[in-house]
Amino acid sequence: MEVLKRIFQESLNEFFDTEASNIQNDVAERNLCARFAMILEPKAKAAGFLNYFADAEYNRNRGNVKTILDDNSVEVSITCDLILHSRGKLEEQDNLIALEMKKSNRPDSEEVRDCNRLRIMTKPNYDDVYVTSGSFDSRYVCGYKLGYFLWLDANNRHYRVREFSSGQEVNEFSGSF
């Protein structure tokens, strides 16, 4: 877990070093996520995660639309901004990092929704509906080791990160870029 945190932090630092002008120029969130992916994947591979890919706007799970169960056990389709995963090839640990990114000009309700999604995606299972080994119903996505919500304030060159693990928010930090 600490290795994944280090990979994320190093990727975040490089992202701000290389993409600060894009952030300030109000480039689309999708572009920023794709740029983050270009940094995250090589760092993961360099750390030994050779069969993992950083994908922006990835919405597939075993050939079907990626879904989660919300707090009311309702199936909801999802497309996370960026994920680091094995694309279903490594069943023992397919999902490593999920990232949601928002600009400061977006409604607060979007942050609430995204953070709830990350909380659900980092749950180890759905009360025995699904476990990461795939021995239960694998329609639902969960088991990400870490989830991150990245909030960007381009005008003030400020960011805030909320970290999720095991279905809980576990850390928050902020800084300038």
Whole-angstrom distance, CA of residue 75 vs CA of residue 32: 28
Q: CATH number of the domain at 99, please.
A: 3.90.1570
SS3 122: coil
3-state helix, strand, coil in the chain (%, to 5): 35, 30, 35
Residue 68 CB: number of other CB atoms within 10 A? 22
The structural domain count of the chain equals 1
> In terms of Cα–Cα distance, which of 36, 2, 11 is closest to 22?
36
* pLDDT, tens digit, 9 for 90 and up, residues 159-171: 999 999 999 999 9
* pLDDT, tens digit, 9 for 90 and up, residues 108-126: 999 999 999 899 889 887 5
Q: Which domain, by its residues, includes 43? A: 2-176
